[in-house]
Amino acid sequence: MNKTMGVLIVGLALVIGIVPLFTDCLSQGRMLTTTAGTNVPMKCHWTAIAEIGLAIPLALIGLINIFSKRKETLGSLNLLGIVLGALAIAFPTVLIGVCAKPDMICNMIMRPALILAGTLTILSSVMVEVKAARMQEIAA
Contact residues: another protein, CB under 8 A: 1, 4, 100-103, 107-109, 111-113, 115-116, 119
Distance CA 93, CA 115 (A): 8
Cα–Cα distance measured from residue 105 to residue 99, given in angstroms and rounded to the nearest whole number: 9
Amino acid letter, 113: A
Q: How many of the other CB atoms lie within 10 Å of CB of 21?
A: 15
Instruction: Name the minimum Å distance from CB 115 to another protein.
Output: 6
Q: In angstroms, what is the minimal distance from the CB of 100 to another protein?
A: 7
DSSP class of residue 93 equals: I
**In the complex with another protein, which residue's Cβ is closer, 103 or 137?**
103
Query: What residue type is assigned to position 107 of the chain?
Result: N
Give the nearest distance from C-beta 50 to another protein in angstroms: 19
Q: How far apart, in whole angstroms, are the C-alpha atoms of residue 20 and residue 6?
A: 22
User: Of 18 and 123, which CB lies nearer to another protein in the complex structure?
Assistant: 123
> Least CB distance from residue 112 to another protein, whole Å?
3
Whichever of 80 and 115 has its CB closer to another protein, that residue is: 115
Q: Are 62 and 127 in contact (CB under 8 A)?
A: no
Residue nearer to another protein on the CB measure, 56 or 130:
130
